[in-house]
Chains A and B, each alone.
Chain A
Amino acid sequence: MPGFLTTWFDPFCGPVGLFSLFLSDSLLACGDAGWGDEIAGGVLVTVSLALATLPLGLVAGFFIALAKQSNEKSLRLAANVYTTIFRGLPELLTLFLVYYGAQIGIQQAMRAMGADLVIEINAFIAGMVALGLVFSAYSSEVIVSAFHAIPRGQYEAGNALGMRRGTTMRKIILPQLVRIALPGLGNLWMILLKETALVSVIGLSDILRQTGVAARVTKEAFMFFGLACLLYLVLAILSSIVISAIEQWASKAEMKR
């Protein structure tokens, strides 16, 4: 049934979709006549890419933040090298390094091991990895500063109650950490959403790529690129609504004084 559901609730080309209801005679019509369905597909790719990158970047960012907090000097250093590199490189370059470089690297490694396998990194995965690297580098900073905002007493209280370190982390520190880091992470999500546009350069059919193709074919560049900007704006507005809802929910747990 998911196929039926997505068809029915398709906000652009479904039976009650924006494009099918109001723009069926224009260049944005759905189906073969117009570009509505292609662009709707682009929106989906953009959103799926951002959503797929988010957990990757968050988990990696969390572990890098832990490494940065470590007492072990080498671990801190390794984490700092990581953030220096991925915060310093342009996102587009990181994307190329992953898309071409990782492919060549894997290929050579496979050949060296004598395996006759072709492992393919497609544009979606390359985008996910590259944006995940960048996202994790930035989110580790946000998480580190959230860690700093949690007083030592919280850890000590965990110890005093005889909790193990993992339990303290899970039951005491993490819930507070999430609340403190949320605004910063929300910001990073907005940045991520915009950075997915770069993946159009390596050929993923996201919003920008699809509107670009439409612009070139129809010669209506202003309309289609304007539409692209508008779609990104809508996504940003929707995101900020969701983020503030999450923030509300998280702050409910805060102690009332």
Chain B
Amino acid sequence: MSVAERLIAPKAPPAPQPQAWTGQKLVGHSLMGLWVAASVGLFLFLVGSFDIEKIRTYGPDYLSGLWITLQLVIMAVAIGALVSLPVAIGRMSANKPISWLAYAYVYAFRGTPLIAQLFLIYYGLGSFRDTLDALHLWTFFRDPWNCALFTFTLNTAAYQAEILRGAIQSVPRGQHEGAAALGISRWITFRKIVLPQAMMVALRPYGNEIILMVKGSAIVAIITVFDLMGETRRAYSRTFDFQTYIWAAIFYLIIVEALRNVWAVLENRLTRHLKR
């Protein structure tokens, strides 16, 4: 028993003071009230304009649009990951022309809007039909879906290459040197020592990139690939019912939130050995 406890008799903790209505609390509560009111309003709006006929007509269109969006994003991100490997290696290469070329590619695709790239590839390549025909590439570029996939792949590859490069370069030199001192070959060092650490760093940016792709894909309807957003616009232009946009917003928010939560779980699991 310590001295303090003997001298001072234990006492109950002071009663919690009633929280004053500070300015912050007032603002916070009123903003939350606004959000709640907005969501109740939206809910009532959706219930009020509920129309089984519309859902029967446009529901399947929405689902097919959703499927197109998901397919496009998954394929673009996966193929983009493959393309990004040589680009990232090129970026880190000691060979000046190669690294310069990789840099130019990355800069061009990251410095221009995705929608401009999409137009350039879809309509721009359309004017070179004869050349493309001669190269037997026209059958590929004739299809709007292929053009969209091609553009998105090149775009995400540029971003992914930068993520990869940043992650690999974030691994301290000491790790390479340590492996070299142990006589481990360069390839094994890369695969077993550098890459796992780099992936840990790259995990979060990769997640963000996928989310950016989901959101960025909303423009493909402009080149006649009817994704979730395209079906939404089509439904709106036939019904002029604003709930079509609300439904699209709900769908997109669910996709993005689901991705974010999956990523949070992934990150938690993969980095648990780093926690203290």
Binding site for B on A (CB under 8 A): 67, 70-79, 81, 84-85, 87-93, 96-97, 100-101, 104, 190, 194-198, 200-201, 208, 212, 215, 219-222, 225-226, 228-229, 232-233, 236-237
Kindly list chain A residues whose C-beta atoms are within 8 Å of the C-beta of B113.
194-198, 208, 232
**Interface magnitude class on chain B:** 35 or more
Complex-state Cα separation, A233 to B105, whole angstroms? 12
Surface stretch bound by A, among B23-31, B55-63, B166-174: B23-31
A229-B116, A232-B111 known; A90-B123 Cβ under 8 A: no
CB atoms of B219 and A198 under 8 A apart: yes
Residue of A nearest to B216 (CB): A90
B106 at the interface (CB under 8 A from A): no
Residue of A nearest to B123 (CB): A221
Residue of B nearest to A195 (CB): B113
Total A-B contacts with CB atoms under 8 angstroms apart: 139
B140 at the interface (CB under 8 A from A): no
CB atoms of A90 and B215 under 8 A apart: yes
Kindly list chain A residues whose C-beta atoms are within 8 Å of the C-beta of B124.
221-222, 225-226
CB atoms of A100 and B25 under 8 A apart: no
Kindly list chain A residues whose C-beta atoms are within 8 Å of the C-beta of B108.
229, 233
Binding site for A on B (CB under 8 A): 22, 24-25, 27-29, 31-32, 34-35, 107-108, 111-117, 119-120, 123-128, 211, 214-219, 222, 229, 232-233, 242, 245, 248-249, 252-253, 256-257
Kindly list chain A residues whose C-beta atoms are within 8 Å of the C-beta of B32.
74, 77-78
Complex-state Cα separation, A77 to B33, whole angstroms? 11
A–B pairs, 14, beta carbons within 8 Å: A67-B28, A70-B24, A81-B35, A88-B253, A89-B252, A90-B218, A90-B229, A208-B116, A222-B124, A222-B125, A228-B119, A232-B112, A236-B111, A236-B112
CB atoms of A198 and B35 under 8 A apart: no
CB atoms of A221 and B24 under 8 A apart: no
Chain B interface, >50% SS class: helix
Kindly list chain B residues whose C-beta atoms are within 8 Å of the C-beta of A97.
245, 249
Kindly list chain B residues whose C-beta atoms are within 8 Å of the C-beta of A101.
242, 245
Kindly list chain A residues whose C-beta atoms are within 8 Å of the C-beta of B215.
88-91
CB contact between B35 and one of A71, A78, A228 (< 8 Å): that residue: A78
Complex-state Cα separation, A87 to B218, whole angstroms? 14
Kindly list chain B residues whose C-beta atoms are within 8 Å of the C-beta of A71.
24
CB atoms of A225 and B112 under 8 A apart: no
Residue of A nearest to B23 (CB): A72
CB atoms of A78 and B31 under 8 A apart: yes
Residue of A nearest to B126 (CB): A221
Kindly list chain B residues whose C-beta atoms are within 8 Å of the C-beta of A200.
115
Q: Which 6 residue pairs across A and B have the least CB separation, nearest first?
A: A75-B28, A74-B28, A222-B124, A197-B113, A90-B218, A78-B31
Residue of A nearest to B253 (CB): A88
Kindly list chain A residues whose C-beta atoms are within 8 Å of the C-beta of B120.
222, 225-226, 228-229
A221-B126, A226-B124 known; A90-B116 Cβ under 8 A: no
A74-B25, A101-B242, A228-B119 known; A90-B112 Cβ under 8 A: no
